[in-house]
Amino acid sequence: MLQLSFSRLKFSAATLLCASLMMTSCGGNSQEGGNDLAGSIQIDGSSTVYPVTEAVAEEYRAEAPDVKVTVGVSGTGGGMKKFTRGEIDIVNASRAMNASEEQTASENGISFVQLSVAYDGLTVVVHPSNDWAQDITVAELKKIWEPEAQGTIKRWNQIRPEWPDQEIHLYGAGVESGTYDYFTEAIVGKSHSSRGDYTASEDDNVLVQGVSTDPLALGFFGYAYYEENKSKLKAIPVNDEDDSNGAGAILPSLETVKDGSYAPLSRPLFLYVSSKAIDKPEVVDFINFYLENAGELAQEVGYIALPDNIYNEQKQKFEQFVEGAATATNQQ
Amino acid sequence: MTNSEKNRLKDKAFQVFGVFCTFIGLVVLAIFLIDIVIEGIGRIDWDFLTSLPSRRAARAGILTAWAGTLWILVLSALIAFPLGIAAGVYLEEYAKKTKLSNFLEINIANLAGVPSIIYGLLGLELFVRIMNLGGILLAGALTLSLLILPIIIVTTREAIKAVPRTIRDGSFALGASKWQTVWYQVLPASFGGILTGVILALSRAVGEAAPLIVIGALAYVPFVPSSPMDEFTVLPIQIFNWTSRPQAAFLTNAAAAIIILLLITFLLNGIAVYLRHRQQKKIKW
């Protein structure tokens, strides 16, 4: 009886395997249209950049059906680790590569090119019933978020005396995210440095939920999350007190982020391409396709396109990088 | 009030409290299920099950995610099943009560309580880096096998322990060797219990996202894995990914994918209940 059960189990396991193998054969071989490049492209990194890359990868399937593009979401830091070890071809990054990552890359003989693909506008938000905060300056944001504020800046009127004498509840990106690094760099002046006593989440939807149900809240997150939840939130215009890039307090919008007047909280999203990857023609083709379509697709998934001339600059930058790598190999 | 009346009152009070506690769990579960079903059931159709991931919520599907989950499930079962049962049989039937076996026992019991992310880190270092497998299905399945091995070992031992001493003695009396006794008497008699443990362990593995993300499972995979050496994604990662998107339509997708994941878990648990039931009917001592 026992042998019987064992063999039956073996049989059902084999059936399951066969079933999934069959699924493969009907999913894999699409030969229609496009060019005849084949191969694989490994991308990993920021979950903020992920939607753009996912959209491009999806469209690229029509262009080159035999190129397998895979995208992971281990975060900008996690992606950089893999990238600088040469484990992946391209990294999605919501911040620039830092010095220690650069060093690891050069130790491993990897050079790279940084390409901007879209903008995101970090949006400062409050509850819709908040009628006092009509604008905020970068200095005030710094006063709220800098490490020294921990345990001391707790009430709205400590920031501006005419604001009410009520508690302020803070919501922001978790410390592992590129969003946090960017925000602290832009506001506090030093990356990865802020007070710790605020509600932190890597998931912006949690922050939306928090701010939209808390009348005393102040939070920040990506523009797409504000745009999708406009009815439950109120964005505050930010004044960088520098009139050369637009005077006064400015609200984030497609225009103000694109033309750079929403400063300093509009941030570029990056791709880094490894010198080892551009030996593969499919990677070069994919990047060109990416830069060609990023503007439109970024907007579709909730980000903001770069101006056309910047996309052209990125294309040139990438072309030079590919040529440079080719000459370097020829000289060896 | 007499003493016995007081005691009866206490008894009653505890009973009410007990019922209340039982219902808290059930009510929370029911609310959660109803909420998810209302949100997601309308999204489930054939296309949802057979489409690739997409930036357009309405066109996105979970084909590669559930195929990856199925692969992981089968591979983990193939790896953990023989190892776990062999370890359980050894510890229960063969191992003498030495310091070493005591040490092993305590550690296995402790391992069952280690958070899954730790197994992810272990898998990353051992399978992905040292064995140089990369973030492929096999590495994921090996990692999850480690995660569920302690559970399988513990349940195997419990099931074997439940086989009466007299069965073994009878077998030995007829001249059977230790191995013959284990193979022809003890294992068949405890098989229902063992299988239940294995399936419950697997239904835990099916829901894991964290250790797989750590070892490098992906989010966007536009092809169904065709061998254990392929890259992959699984349902929990797809769900996690969708719940963090700004557009509400992706939350509906996530709810629908949660329903599918729940169905897989319920199916596995159902099989476990059925096997146990069949086993109980068959064995009459």
Tokens describing residue A157: 């009127």
Cis peptide before B164 (omega within 30 of 0): no
| pLDDT, tens digit, 9 for 90 and up, residues A46-66 | 988 999 999 999 999 999 999
The answer to whether B231 contacts chain A (CB < 8 Å) is yes
pLDDT of A243? 83
**For residue B110, with 0-12 CB atoms within 10 Å meaning exposed, 13-18 middle and 19 or more buried, which class applies?**
exposed
The answer to whether B112 contacts chain A (CB < 8 Å) is no
**For residue A15, with 0-12 CB atoms within 10 Å meaning exposed, 13-18 middle and 19 or more buried, which class applies?**
exposed
> Which of A214, A43, A225, A46 minimizes the C-alpha distance to B247?
A225
- Supply the mean pLDDT for chain A: 86
Would you say residue A9 has pLDDT above 50?
no
Would you say residue B197 has pLDDT above 70?
yes
Is there a contact between B137 and B68 (Cβ–Cβ < 8 Å)? yes
Average pLDDT over residues B109-121: 89
DSSP β-bridge partners for residue A220: A124
Would you say residue B152 has pLDDT above 90?
yes
Average pLDDT over residues A276-289: 94
Q: What is the DSSP letter of A232?
A: G
Return the residue of A nearest to B133 by Cα: A87
How far does B215 lie from chain A, in Å, by closest CA? Answer: 10
Is B220–A54 a contact, with Cβ atoms under 8 angstroms apart?
A: yes
A·B CB contacts under 8 A: 116
DSSP β-bridge partners for residue A173: A201
pLDDT of A179? 87
> Which pLDDT band holds residue A22 (cuts at 50, 70, 90)?
very low
Q: What is the DSSP letter of B92?
A: I
Q: Which amino acid is at B254?
A: A
Rounded CA-CA distance A307/A293 in Å is 13
DSSP state string for A125-156: EE-TT--S-S-EEHHHHHHHHSGGGTTT--BG
pLDDT of A259? 86
Contacts of B77 in chain A (CB under 8 A): 13
Which of B223, B232, B283 is the mutation pick for testing A, counting most A CBs within 10 A? Answer: B223
| pLDDT, tens digit, 9 for 90 and up, residues B213-225 | 888 888 899 999 9
Contacts of A205 in chain B (CB under 8 A): 243-246, 251
Total residue length of chain B: 285
> Which pLDDT band holds residue B284 (cuts at 50, 70, 90)?
low
Rounded CA-CA distance A99/A93 in Å is 15
Angle between helix A281-300 and helix A50-63 axes, rounded to 10 deg = 120
The answer to whether B14 contacts chain A (CB < 8 Å) is no
> Which pLDDT band holds residue A331 (cuts at 50, 70, 90)?
low
Of A17, A71, A301, the CB nearest to B74: A17
Pairing type for strands A123-126 and A234-235 reads: antiparallel
The answer to whether A54 contacts chain B (CB < 8 Å) is yes
Is B246–A53 a contact, with Cβ atoms under 8 angstroms apart?
A: no
> Which pLDDT band holds residue A29 (cuts at 50, 70, 90)?
very low
Task: Give Cα separations from B173 to B160, B182, B285 (angstroms).
Answer: 19, 14, 17
Largest CA distance in chain A: 85
> Which pLDDT band holds residue A325 (cuts at 50, 70, 90)?
confident
The answer to whether B175 contacts chain A (CB < 8 Å) is no
The answer to whether B245 contacts chain A (CB < 8 Å) is yes
Task: Give Cα separations from B251 to A55, A140, B36, B43, B247 (angstroms).
Answer: 18, 35, 10, 11, 7
Has this prediction a pTM greater than 0.80? Answer: yes
Is A23–B243 a contact, with Cβ atoms under 8 angstroms apart?
A: no
